[in-house]
Copies of this chain bind each other. A is one copy, B any other.
């Protein structure tokens, strides 16, 4: 089943309001196999609303609108749609009584303006809205059907969950849109696409979307129709085929954060972690401590932003002078010193040039060194990240977590296989 969405509100076009209603509706409908084929946003102007709804009906015959049902002057959606369907508005006394009772409960005084909220296009189904005064409306006619919902997010959500989803899912007959997301990092979108080229060709009927962000590229597999069990089986199988050529980069699924994955991995090992941060200035610690229960693993560490604090940690003045603060030698010294001073099993250090100034031909803005020291040794990596100061810091933090994840995972695998060998 397909439908179009028309969101009504001048504030949406002016950008004063971020349109979270649309995302909610997209997800709620996809879950019952209903696909939104187009979304149109228009201002609170009768002609604009009429044109958008009429065009949407002409294309899909089923339309959901949000907004424009309130009691104020600019709320005209209901009148416009009633006119499109050539239906008169009828005052409904029982609706009016409910509105009066609601205002009395809230101790608010009612105004004449509210009366129009008790008017309903003839023959329309009223969808009760316990969270507000404007009910939803389900209008049918020769042009098709329009489901009108209020724009206030809590009211809209209540009506979608309570009225729209049950009614539409009764019609749609079982099929669902189901997705699965693999989260990757440390690899460019184009390199991913190259590695997945052959797998991608054989994915049908599933589709694959690349969703890049500063922290990596999410791969979303989607199954667009069919029974849920079959969808899950197809997605499971396809996820396995996707994983094989890029396993070093897939750290999780869905909403999992890399910091959460790293904390989980270290906790399994029984390891503690410390950090020493220069250009990220605390961002790495912040990411790690976002995870509830991080304290079982994360001890803390030094924000060694100024070179004085790097020396205080234990990086020798000679290393800083000879190699500079952004160097392999310095991040290794930082990681080793943080591990020792704070008594952690592993320590990660980051030092880089986040800009906007401070770059040089040999070390351009974006140059970042990452060092890791743990019970079994140390390693360091250089990268040059693009983007703004903040972009570079976000990428550097993600890269530090990724390097730690790779190293710890590899050590865990080795440990496991060693262990298995010893037991044989």
**What is the interface of chain A, defined by CB distance below 8 A to chain B?**
10-20, 22-28, 30, 35-44, 48, 52, 55, 70-74, 102-103, 105-114, 130-133, 152, 154, 158, 177, 179, 188-191, 193-194, 200, 207-214, 220, 222, 275, 277, 279-286, 288-290, 292, 294-295, 298-306, 308-309, 312, 341-343, 354-357, 364, 366, 382-391, 393
Which residue of the partner chain B has the closest CB to A110? B190
Whether B105 and A190, one on each chain, are in contact in the complex, defined by CB atoms closer than 8 angstroms, is no
Copies in the complex: 2
Q: A106-B383, A277-B285, A282-B303 are in contact. List 4 more A-B contacts (CB 8 A).
A: A14-B26, A19-B22, A72-B210, A299-B306
CB of B27 within 8 A of CB of A14, answer yes
State A65–B23 Cα separation when bound (angstroms): 19
Q: Cα distance A103–B383 when bound, in Å?
A: 11
In angstroms, Cα B10 to Cα A209, docked, is: 8
Instruction: Known contacts A38-B42, A300-B305; decide if A288 and B281 are in contact (CB<8 Å).
Output: yes
Contact B384 A107 (CB under 8 A): yes
B39 touches A391 (CB 8 A): no
Closest residue of B by beta carbon distance from A188: B108
Instruction: Give min CB distance, A410 to chain B, whole Å.
Output: 21
B282 A71 Cβ-Cβ under 8 A: no
Q: Considering the chains assembled together, what is the distance between the CA atoms of A22 and B356 in angstroms?
A: 27
- Cα A111 to Cα B194 in complex, Å, equals 7
Given contacts A131-B386, A281-B285, are A70 and B212 in contact (CB under 8 A)?
yes
**Cβ–Cβ < 8 Å partners of A42 in chain B:** 37-39
* CB–CB A19/B18 < 8 A: yes
Distance of A189 Cα from B107 Cα, bound (Å): 14
CB neighbours of A13 from chain B (8 A): 26, 35-39
| Residues of B with C-beta under 8 A to A191 | 108-109, 111
A-B CB contact pairs (8 Å), 10 listed: A10-B222, A15-B30, A18-B22, A22-B41, A72-B193, A113-B190, A131-B388, A282-B284, A300-B304, A312-B342
A382 to B279, CA, bound (A): 31
Contact of A19 among B11, B23, B189 (CB under 8 A): B23
Residues of B within 8 A of A15 (CB): 22-28, 30
B281/A277 in contact, CB under 8 A: no
Q: Is A193 touching B111 in the complex (CB atoms < 8 A)?
A: yes
For A24, list chain B residues within 8 Å (CB). 15
The interface residues of chain B lying within 8 Å CB-to-CB of A11 are 209, 211, 220
Set B154, B288, B300: member contacting A388, Cβ < 8 A: B154
Chain B residues, Cβ within 8 Å of A343: 308
**Given known contacts A15-B23, A189-B71, A286 and B282 CB-to-CB distance under 8 angstroms:** yes
Cross-chain contact A20 with B18 (CB below 8 angstroms): yes
Within 8 Å by CB of A385, from B16, B106, B299, lies B106
Question: Contacts A39-B12, A42-B38; is A72 near B189 (CB within 8 Å)?
Answer: yes
Most chain B CB within a 10 A radius of its CB, from A177, A284, A303: A303
